[in-house]
Amino acid sequence: MSSRALDAFREALIAYGQQHYDDAWRLAQQAAQADPANIVYPAAVAYLDRAMREGKRGVYSSPEAFAAFIRGGGNVPLYENTSAALSRVYEQYRSLALLDVGVGSGLALVPALTPNVGRLDVLEPSSAMLVQASAALYARGIAHRAINMTVQQFIRAEAGRYDVVQATYALQALPPADRAHVLAGLRAIADRLLIAEFDVPEWASSQAGLATPERVRYFVEHYARGLAEYAGDGLVVQGFLMPVFFGAFDQTEARLNWEMPIAKWVRLLRAAGFDHVRSEPIYDYWWAPGYLLDAI
């Protein structure tokens, strides 16, 4: 990786974070010229060109782009492996009551379900996503209760008890200040909690908005892998991946997630009252390795 290109691109991200799109575009152009083999830089130039003309794009402003992203590239083996790991846990029970927190469209849950799941509740704050998950479950003839609220609201209500509670790539959306309380609340309603998350470096997420050299290098190196998985798919690249990339360096945007290392999740789970916490690798995803945490 060219250090000259990386330095210019870091300056581009700093300019972007200050809403100086023309300067950011010029500096990204310099990076692309200094390292023409790196696919991140021309993708960034194209994104900034559009930002200058139309303004920046929200991360989820294109549902079509997100849908194409989540069902392509490395997400296919990631979710296949996640579902398989969940199924292996379900099969340990004769019958179980299951709660999925932040079910999304059901991409991880639906393929994982086994006949011994006797009671199923799905929790999702997005009504649109919850409708999709319910439709996928009904299509397979699976009875369930769909709950449209946040996990914070849910644990304050009469939540009942479950054998297993799971959250797949969903708890990263919890602000850090809420995590201890939420995990303790989940511990109160279940003896077993399954969490699928990515093992990111501490600084990759904690320094959101900041273009430190190590953070910029991490993003460029890993997004080069991610963009390669969607080569030629302009909808995904410009409609989702680049908005996510630049959003991570935009100091004017509210944060949507707070990823953290798996070791930190383990510490929080133990502090919440889970005595035994095991981590299992799921898939070497382009952004960071995915893991399943099994807390009992």
pLDDT digits (tens, 9 = 90+) for 116-130: 999 999 999 999 999
Q: How many domains does the chain have?
A: 2
Residue with tokens 């109160």: 188
Task: Look up the domain containing 162 and give its range.
Answer: 75-200+257-295
The answer to whether residues 104 and 158 belong to one domain is yes
CB 178 within 8 A of CB 239: no
How large a percentage of the chain has pLDDT more than 70?
96
How large a percentage of the chain has pLDDT more than 90?
82
* pLDDT digits 0-9 by tens, 201-235: 987 666 666 888 999 999 999 999 999 999 989 99
pTM confidence score: 0.93
The answer to whether residues 118 and 264 belong to one domain is yes
Per-residue model confidence (pLDDT) at position 59: 62
Question: How far, in Å, CA of 139 to CA of 204, rounded?
Answer: 39
Residue 255 has pLDDT above 80, yes or no: no
Per-residue model confidence (pLDDT) at position 292: 98
Tell which residue, 134, 126, 141, has the closest CA to residue 109.
Answer: 134
* pLDDT digits 0-9 by tens, 15-38: 998 889 999 999 999 999 999 999
Q: What is the average per-residue pLDDT within 281-289?
A: 98
Per-residue model confidence (pLDDT) at position 238: 94
Question: How far, in Å, CA of 192 to CA of 187, rounded?
Answer: 8
Main-chain phi, psi angles of 252, to 5 degrees: -95, -5
- Is 62 part of any domain? no
The answer to whether residues 18 and 128 belong to one domain is no
CB 12 within 8 A of CB 28: yes
Q: For residue 2, what pLDDT band results from cuts at 50, 70 and 90?
A: confident
Tell which residue, 76, 103, 77, has the closest CA to residue 166.
Answer: 103
The answer to whether residues 194 and 213 belong to one domain is no
Q: Which residues of 266-293 are buried (b: 16+ CB within 10 A; e: fewer)?
A: bebbeebebeebebeebbebbbbebbbb
Per-residue model confidence (pLDDT) at position 200: 94
* pLDDT digits 0-9 by tens, 43-66: 999 999 988 887 776 666 678 898
Main-chain phi, psi angles of 154, to 5 degrees: -65, -45
Per-residue model confidence (pLDDT) at position 62: 74
The answer to whether residues 133 and 167 belong to one domain is yes
Per-residue model confidence (pLDDT) at position 253: 75
The answer to whether residues 42 and 138 belong to one domain is no
**Sequence-distant (≥ 6) Cβ neighbours of residue 110 within 8 angstroms:** 83, 133, 136, 137, 140, 142
Per-residue model confidence (pLDDT) at position 60: 60
The answer to whether residues 96 and 176 belong to one domain is yes
The answer to whether residues 44 and 114 belong to one domain is no
- Is 67 part of any domain? no
- Is 141 part of any domain? yes
Q: Which residues of 156-165 are buried (b: 16+ CB within 10 A; e: fewer)?
A: eeebeebbbb
- Is 25 part of any domain? yes
